[in-house]
Structure 1
């Protein structure tokens, strides 16, 4: 891992670098996109850049990796690396991108910290960067090989064979490879990257969870993102992509997947976080699982709840499953004990339960705390968050 000399230098400078990382990462992206504008146009999420969420996620990942190297020199934060590598693989990131990132990141560090970045300090942080980068390159190469795309050409032209409005805000798309090739293998909980050609010529990419496992098709669901900035890709898909159109869709990736064991499982979601959970439930129902299944969902109202009917139909197909739904503002008769925010501590959660969470970050943090209070082991709580992972590197 990190050399002894570099460990001491990184430990000594980590507070300064960590304290300035909020200045370093925006400057890094400015330099990167000035030199390579196509990266912003066709790879990086322009909405996340505008909101600053991607910058904060990168800052958290770099600081967390450096801290892990210093505090646990004999261990590597593989969970964090796996999360990043799966995202990178879904985008088709290749090894030649890492020197480009290094060049502009270190230029930003030097500009922000000035004389504090001596040649020795720069060399120590360069060692941190390449330990992280080379680990990611190796994991990504393995993912590409497993997906049958060793050249990182992960996107396949797919024809939209059906689309279904789940709610006014959520639409499900079914796609098949245009050339008739077999569908790529997918595990419950994974996602695909979808590239859309936008009116200004940009080819923006977004990840969408597989929300089911229909025969002979990939199924993903998209929530229309409103506000400022509005979701470029989600609105384009809703408004302009019809049956018969072609999209570039990646093979599935994602490290938060349903395990194959027989232990009890809890699936908890909020809002559009129901998409991977619906995919997991559909897999359990299709395979005739006899596992104890606790399905939990939270939403604003019944009308906003995508896959509301599917949830109850899938649970009914499982012999040892139950659904628990909370609505903040019920429109129909609804139990007062299930009105408002989710409280997982009110449920009977069996010993040995494995939990999967998906939803907004506040929901994830609250749900995890409630599960820990209910006796679920921290190692058995897995989460998926849409967009830049601002929880990455915490004790989650």
Structure 2
């Protein structure tokens, strides 16, 4: 809860700070990596620094948190904090790095705001930062404590690599040492640390797709302009050993029997596979509506696997949208106006941000409760920053 002293100051400056985020964040990261270049080794994505996505997501989340505190004085945005905490845990973030972020972020804020960054303004925003930081630290401690081992990363050996639609590599792993294997909840992800040619390890998160107990399986879509996925596609071989994190992520199968709608686009199919597989294992009788959009049927990753899982569920059906037409149910982008979604259904979405925004808007416009709509974004969550 914000103090009575800080509340009016935050109310008066929140819009200004939010507006200045695109200018504050480059200076923030310049300062932090200048002082701590080691944070680029195994912690921060260099690609996201180049695109500006990670800086906007991190600093923007603090501004959004402040606005939430103004609008909801007696609560925190638990779902947003949970998403951030899971991501931090998958990177092995330590509590003692929060002062590092504070030092360089607030140095950048003071430099950008100039004389407007009075001691009172800085103190008020310091309060916001540490309210958010302590909430995240508490969540992350609980996440670490819930694991059967105390290792942020452990070695896993590649046992299989095969290609599927959409230029996607499907990779299987087995443990390469005796570290206790943490069970994964359907829909969770792991971080993989990939060594780059200059010796820097770059972490990326990938959803765990169905695999035998005690093993891991991920699907990696090639980004020709990326730093990491080309290395995975070109360099990773059967027998290689990579460091994987314990599983994290809060887009999981909820313990309920209400109808379930799974809407995905492209590689966003991966958490849907995990959820469908779990439903099959449980012999679920739930009504399940699977909606998938892609450029074409040939681009649809793991299509046969998804179709089989749907076929194995007694009350499941699937509809597809392909931009290039062909053998899908619909041509063009996903349009759910003609899909009958039960009012009590949970709607789970995964895919690129424009897809998520468009489909969520359609769902909410139909009168569906927003609290029953869940999503996962691959990469920094800019939705929060862009007005969600």
Deviation per CA, 1:265-319: give whole Å up to 9, x if none: 0110001101111111111122211110001100001111001111211111000
Instruction: Work out whether residues 157 and 178 of structure 1, in 8 Å CA contact, stay in contact via their aligned partners in 2.
Output: yes
**Which residue pairs with 1:156 in the alignment?**
154
The offset of 1:333, in angstroms, is: 3.7
Instruction: Work out whether residues 213 and 279 of structure 1, in 8 Å CA contact, stay in contact via their aligned partners in 2.
Output: no
Structure 2 distance, partners of 1:28, 1:180, is 40
Structure 1 distance, partners of 2:363, 2:286, is 19
**Which residue pairs with 2:36 in the alignment?**
36
Q: Return the match for 2:250 from 236, 248, 255.
A: 255
Structure 2 distance, partners of 1:212, 1:374, is 33
**Which residue pairs with 2:344 in the alignment?**
352
Q: Return the match for 1:209 from 207, 220, 224.
A: 207
Structure 1 distance, partners of 2:131, 2:110, is 20
**Which residue pairs with 2:22 in the alignment?**
22
Instruction: Work out whether residues 349 and 374 of structure 1, in 8 Å CA contact, stay in contact via their aligned partners in 2.
Output: no
User: For residues 363-382 of structure 1, what are the structure 2 equivalents within 5 Å?
Assistant: 363-382=355-374
The offset of 1:393, in angstroms, is: 5.6
User: For residues 275-354 of structure 1, what are the structure 2 equivalents within 5 Å?
Assistant: 275-330=270-325, 332-335=326-329, 338-354=330-346
SS in 2 for 1:193: strand
Q: Return the match for 1:184 from 177, 182, 185.
A: 182
Q: Return the match for 1:362 from 354, 364, 368.
A: 354
Alignment of 1:390 onto 2:388: no
The offset of 1:116, in angstroms, is: 1.0
Structure 1 distance, partners of 2:109, 2:214, is 49
Structure 1 distance, partners of 2:315, 2:181, is 31
Deviation per CA, 1:125-156: give whole Å up to 9, x if none: 11111111111100000000012345xx3211
**Which residue pairs with 1:12 in the alignment?**
12
Instruction: Work out whether residues 213 and 282 of structure 1, in 8 Å CA contact, stay in contact via their aligned partners in 2.
Output: no
Instruction: Work out whether residues 172 and 219 of structure 1, in 8 Å CA contact, stay in contact via their aligned partners in 2.
Output: yes
The offset of 1:8, in angstroms, is: 1.1
The offset of 1:395, in angstroms, is: 6.8
**Which residue pairs with 1:119 in the alignment?**
119
**Which residue pairs with 2:107 in the alignment?**
107
Q: With structure 2 as the length reference, what TM-score do the two structures score?
A: 0.97
Structure 1 distance, partners of 2:286, 2:108, is 51
Structure 2 distance, partners of 1:214, 1:42, is 28
The total of aligned residue pairs comes to 388
SS in 2 for 1:382: strand
Instruction: Work out whether residues 183 and 218 of structure 1, in 8 Å CA contact, stay in contact via their aligned partners in 2.
Output: no
The gaps in structure 1 that reach 5 residues or longer are none
The gaps in structure 2 that reach 5 residues or longer are none
| Distance of aligned partners of 1:168 and 1:18 in 2 relative to their CA distance in 1, 3 Å threshold | closer
Structure 2 distance, partners of 1:378, 1:301, is 30
Q: With structure 1 as the length reference, what TM-score do the two structures score?
A: 0.95
User: For residues 168-179 of structure 1, what are the structure 2 equivalents within 5 Å?
Assistant: 169-179=167-177
The offset of 1:117, in angstroms, is: 1.1
Instruction: Work out whether residues 189 and 254 of structure 1, in 8 Å CA contact, stay in contact via their aligned partners in 2.
Output: yes
The offset of 1:345, in angstroms, is: 1.8
SS in 1 for 2:208: strand
SS in 2 for 1:272: helix
User: For residues 40-55 of structure 1, what are the structure 2 equivalents within 5 Å?
Assistant: 40-55=40-55
| Distance of aligned partners of 1:350 and 1:26 in 2 relative to their CA distance in 1, 3 Å threshold | same
RMSD: 1.5
| Distance of aligned partners of 1:312 and 1:72 in 2 relative to their CA distance in 1, 3 Å threshold | same
